[in-house]
Structure formats: C-alpha cells, structure tokens
A and B are shown apart, each in its own frame.
Chain A
Amino acid sequence: MEQNSDSQQKKFVLLCLLPVIVFFLSLFLGRYPISPGEVGHVLLSPFFNFDMQGYELQESVIVGIRMPRVLLAMLVGAGLSVSGAACQGIFKNPLVSPDLLGVSAGAGFGAVLGILLVGNGPLVTLSALFFGLISVVIVFAISKINNTTPILSLVLAGIIVSSIFAALIALVKYVADPYDKLPTIVYWLMGSFAKASYDDLMLVIIPISAGMIILLLLRWRINILSLGDDEASSLGEKPERMRWLIILSVTVIAASAVTVAGIIGWVGLVIPHICRMIMGVDHKLLLPATILIGASFLAAIDIIARTATPAEIPIGILTAIIGAPFFALLLNRMKRGWI
C-alpha cells in the first residue's frame, strides 16, 4: 500500500498499453490465421493508400468480423468492471457485483422473452434494455417500503427482483420450442460475442460510454459514499441522491451489456479486486484502472473462447471457470483486508 504517486503514474502508463496489446492480439489470433504483418497492412491501409490486392479476405475477417467483436468485448468488459467497482464502493461491500440489483436477471428475461416471441433482431435488444430498467424501478419501489436501513433494503429488494426474473426466465425456457427456440435461449444466456456486429456496437456504445463517463466523473465522490451514510452526510454529501445516480448509470451499463452479450458473470466482481491490489483502494485511481483491465480481460477471454476448441465456448462459462478459482486465490491473499 505504500506507493508514491510517481510509481502509480508509471503503473498507469503500463496499464494503458494492456488493452492496445490485447486488441492487436485479437485481430490476428483466430480460426483463420492472419499474420501480424497482414494485420498491420490492413489497419494502416486507409492512411497510406496501400494496395489491397490479395488482402480482401484478410480485410473482411479483420474489419468485418474480428474488429467489431473485440471492440464490443472491450466495451462490455470495461463497463461491467467499472460498474462492479462503483457498486462495491457505494454498497460498502467488496462482494457486490453489478447484477446485485437484479439488472442482469431483468435484462436476461427481456431478451429471452424477445427470442421466444419474435426470434431475433432489434426488438430482442430493446426488450432486454426495457426489462433491465424495469427491474431497477421495481427494486427502487420495494426498497422504499422499509427505508430505515437504505443499503440493506436495496440489497434485499435486489434479491427479490432477481429471483422473480430468474423464475420467469425458467418459465420462458419451459414453454419454448425445444428444437428451435430453446437452444438459442440457452446459448444466449451463457453469454457470447459470436454474433457481434457493428450494429450491436452502435446500439450500446452510447449508453455504456455515458454510464462510464458519469461514474468516472463521480469517482472521487464514491470514496465519500463508501464511508457510510452518516459520515458522508457530515462531509456534505447527499448519499441517497448520489446512490441512485450511480445505480442508474450502472443499470444502463449492465442492461446494455446483457443486451448484446448475454449474461457474463464474475467480471464485475473479480476485476475491481485485481485493480485494488495494483492501484490501491482510492476510487479515483481504481475506476480508470478497472476500465483498462476489464476491457483487456474480457477481450483476452474472448480470444480463448473462440480459439481454444473447434467449437466456440460461451464466454460466460469461461469467465466463471477462470474467475471463480481466481477469486478464491485472491481471498487467500486478502487476509489483511479488502485490498
């Protein structure tokens, strides 16, 4: 923990390189082999007017398939990670993740319902976003019933809403056509970037970025909220208002993420912890770090998801398989406190 700001600046510069490296790795690693030189050729051609003769296939793989996919994975990874760090801060609990408030379950139900009723397309996405937001509205209403301990009632409301939507998801699965709709639903719920497109990217880039910008602007204030409501108010904060502003941002990010990528667990829980070990607990440095590491992590996992086996592995399964044991390892190193 004894770090001066100089060494933290150096760390930050190194962290900034990480997503850049993973981005280039994602472009040439994959089923269809493309050499780093070819990647360079394709990427730089718009600036230097390279001859694209003989590069059509590489260009279509890189620009048409891999690029939107890695960008989407990075956006979702960054969004989920920064949301996790913000939630852990405002709920004063290092074990919280963005799906705590039922957003993932709500958005998941919306998407599944959409798949059941219309198959696929933008309606599915809108339905996911809609139910994600609905879930947080319900959480808000329930938490107001008994507001003597605001944080506890929020968490309990989140559990209630999550389990209701989980039951509804099960119901949709039960009635879905087992040969056509059910596999799509199950696959989607496991999380995947396999169908990533520029349309998906365009759809969520604004809401996710907007949410991330709000969280980044408030990042020092999250420290104050993490001290508890009484101390925060004595420091001039309005905890209730601030909490909802952050929850709203997190909801928009999480619902958008679920919308394009399905349910991807563990990222929002594990990445903030890794970042705390590297950058310390001050949210002012922590939040930017979670964005850089979260983006790199999910893009890297996605490389594994699409290259490890001949058939693609759903990324939600991988994040759980890699994230959960890793978290157990972290717990062992965190004996001294939530670093």
Chain B
Amino acid sequence: MTFEVTDAEFGYGTITLHRVSFSVEPGEILAVLGANGSGKTTLMKCINGIHRWKSGGAFIGGNSFDIQNISRQVGYVPQCHTLTFPYTVSEMVLFGRAPAINLLSMPSGSDREIANRTMEEVGISHLAKKSCSEISGGEMQLVLIARALASEPRILLLDEPESHLDFRNQTMLLNLLRNLVNRRKIVCIMNTHYPDHALKISDKTLLLGKRKHIFGITNEIITQDNLKDYFGVNVELLPFQNGKGERMNAVVALDLVDV
C-alpha cells in the first residue's frame, strides 16, 4: 500500500512546510534532505501525529490516517534520546509495544516475545539485560530502532539516525536499515544531512527548501544543480563502480556559493 503525503502544509505561525507532496512504496526508503530549519523534523512530527497538518495530509493506500491508530502504523526513531532513567535494553524495546497494549494493562508474554524477536532481528539480543546508560551511541540507536519496530509498524520514521555515530557505525546502521526495509517490506522515511547516505541506501529523495521542495528518484534529485540550489554549496558528483560492478556516485563538497 502506497504511503502518500499530498499538498501538506504545516508551520509554527509562519508556514514551514509548503504544499509538500511525495509518495513511497512498501520496501522503499525515502531520504529527506534539507538545510537546518527546512522542516525535516517537523515533517516527521506531522506524519506521526505529534503535530496536526494545517491542510493536506498523509494517506496510506488512499485512506487518510486514523489519528487514534497512528502510533500502531508509524514507528518513530527520535534524533537523540536523553536518558533520565537507565532502563535496560529489553525494557526499552518493550516500551515500543505500548501502542498495542491497553491503557491499564501490562505487557503480556506475547508482547515480550515480539520485543525479543525484534531485538534479535536488529542484532542486540546480547545487550538485553544491559542498562541503556552502559551501551554505546551506535548500540543505543539500534535499541531505538528495535523499539520503533516492536509495534510492527507499516511506516518507519528515522530522524537523522546516523548523525551522532562514528564512521563504522554509520555504515553499519545504513546497511542494517536497507536490509530491514527489504525484509519487512515497510515504508521507510529517513532524515539525513548526508547526500552520500541518501545515494547509498535510498530509492527516493525529498529535498526540502524554503517554500519549495522537489521529490523523485534519488539519482535524479541529488544532482550538482539541486544541491547548489538547496544547500548553497558547489559540489562535484564522482561516478565510480563498486566491488559488485554497480555504478554509484560520491558527493564531494567544493566551496560555498556566493550569495
């Protein structure tokens, strides 16, 4: 079922998101790129129901989202998690079951089982009993992804999931995401600051700017002209072939465009 956002508008006072439209199929990754303040995080909060659209909206399979059920359909991985209480990894992942659990009920055995399976899928089972304050940033990001997946959502939203990670962990995370999305056939929308990451794993890209946006196949959107236009940076796109003989592009930033 196609996930669509059509003519959507939102803003705090002034409009941040101006008639944004895009669509993503199950099993596809959409990368959302844009300068700071262009509304990437706002877009996520609108999709998962924290903010209400001013007009337009999000649709799945042509039907509009049921606001009551939104948390069961959308899994959200926040930008960074400030840890007040050092819950264990398994407790944290189990919290992801909250949308499926009755207000006054406790998680059941089957909730635990789903949480355990999700931890296994993401590869963090060995951390289950550890406190979230004792694990690394990369591992914490995996915990948050497992938590988002624990509600078995149809749409996975990630807000700059790789931005605080080191080089190796970034690569690990991107590869994991690609595999997860292929296997689960879910819609994945990921905010990122790195055009390279969009080129590496995303099928489609949404470029957000001031009162404008473009959307399309990643290779057609991430071009010299568009990056210059939306980020004010002169770039060079270097084509190369990877080990499997696939053609890829690397983005190299050169200098700033004079304003």
Interface centre among B78, B87, B95 (most CB of A within 10 A): B95
Residues in A177-233 with C-beta less than 8 Å from chain B? 217-218, 220-221, 223-224, 226-228, 230-231, 233
Q: Which of A1, A221, A230, A280 lies in contact with B50, CB distance below 8 A? A: A230
Residues in B77-132 with C-beta less than 8 Å from chain A? 78, 81-88, 91, 95-96, 98-99, 101, 103-107, 129-131
A223 with B95: in contact, given A234-B71, A337-B131 (CB under 8 Å)? yes
Q: Which of B49, B96, B133 lies in contact with A337, CB distance below 8 A? A: B133
Residue A93 lies at the interface, judged by CB distance under 8 Å to chain B: yes
| Closest chain B CB from A264 CB (angstroms) | 25
A233 with B85: in contact, given A220-B107, A284-B106 (CB under 8 Å)? no
Say yes or no: A1 contacts B86, CB within 8 Å: yes
A233 with B50: in contact, given A220-B106, A282-B91 (CB under 8 Å)? yes
| B106 contact set on A, CB distance < 8 A | 220, 284
| B85 contact set on A, CB distance < 8 A | 89, 94, 226, 276, 281, 338
| A224 contact set on B, CB distance < 8 A | 95, 98
Residues in A96-135 with C-beta less than 8 Å from chain B? none
Residue B76 lies at the interface, judged by CB distance under 8 Å to chain A: yes
Interface residues on B, range: 35 or more
- 20 residue pairs A–B, Cβ–Cβ below 8 Å: A1-B129, A220-B107, A221-B98, A224-B95, A230-B45, A230-B78, A233-B48, A234-B48, A234-B49, A234-B50, A234-B76, A234-B78, A236-B71, A281-B86, A281-B87, A284-B106, A336-B86, A336-B133, A337-B131, A338-B85
Say yes or no: A2 contacts B130, CB within 8 Å: yes
Residues of B within 8 A of A (CB): 45, 48-50, 70-72, 74, 76, 78, 81-88, 91, 95-96, 98-99, 101, 103-107, 129-131, 133-134, 151
Say yes or no: A337 contacts B78, CB within 8 Å: no
6 closest Cβ contacts across the A-B interface? Answer: A236-B71, A236-B99, A234-B76, A281-B85, A235-B98, A92-B84
Residues of A within 8 A of B (CB): 1-4, 89, 92-94, 217-218, 220-221, 223-224, 226-228, 230-231, 233-237, 276, 280-282, 284, 336-339
| Closest chain A CB from B147 CB (angstroms) | 8
Say yes or no: B98 contacts A228, CB within 8 Å: no
| A1 contact set on B, CB distance < 8 A | 86, 88, 129-131, 134
| B82 contact set on A, CB distance < 8 A | 228
A3-B90 Cα distance, complex, nearest whole Å: 12
- What is the interface of chain B mostly: helix, strand, loop, or mixed? loop
7 additional contacts (CB under 8 A) given A234-B78, A338-B86? A93-B84, A94-B85, A220-B107, A223-B95, A230-B50, A233-B49, A282-B88
Say yes or no: B50 contacts A235, CB within 8 Å: no
Interface centre among B82, B87, B106 (most CB of A within 10 A): B87
Q: How many A-B residue pairs have CB under 8 A?
A: 84
A237-B95 Cα distance, complex, nearest whole Å: 11
Q: Which of B81, B103, B129 lies in contact with A231, CB distance below 8 A? A: B81
Interface centre among A217, A230, A236, A339 (most CB of B within 10 A): A236
Q: Which of B50, B81, B86, B130 lies in contact with A339, CB distance below 8 A? A: B86
Say yes or no: B86 contacts A337, CB within 8 Å: yes
| B133 contact set on A, CB distance < 8 A | 336-337
| A223 contact set on B, CB distance < 8 A | 87, 91, 95
Q: Which of A93, A236, A282, A336 lies in contact with B98, CB distance below 8 A? A: A236
| B81 contact set on A, CB distance < 8 A | 227, 231
| A276 contact set on B, CB distance < 8 A | 85
| A94 contact set on B, CB distance < 8 A | 84-85
| Closest chain A CB from B150 CB (angstroms) | 10
A284-B85 Cα distance, complex, nearest whole Å: 13
Say yes or no: B98 contacts A338, CB within 8 Å: no
| Closest chain A CB from B65 CB (angstroms) | 13
With both beta carbons as reference points, the residue of chain A lying nearest to B97 in the complex is identified as A235
With both beta carbons as reference points, the residue of chain B lying nearest to A214 in the complex is identified as B104
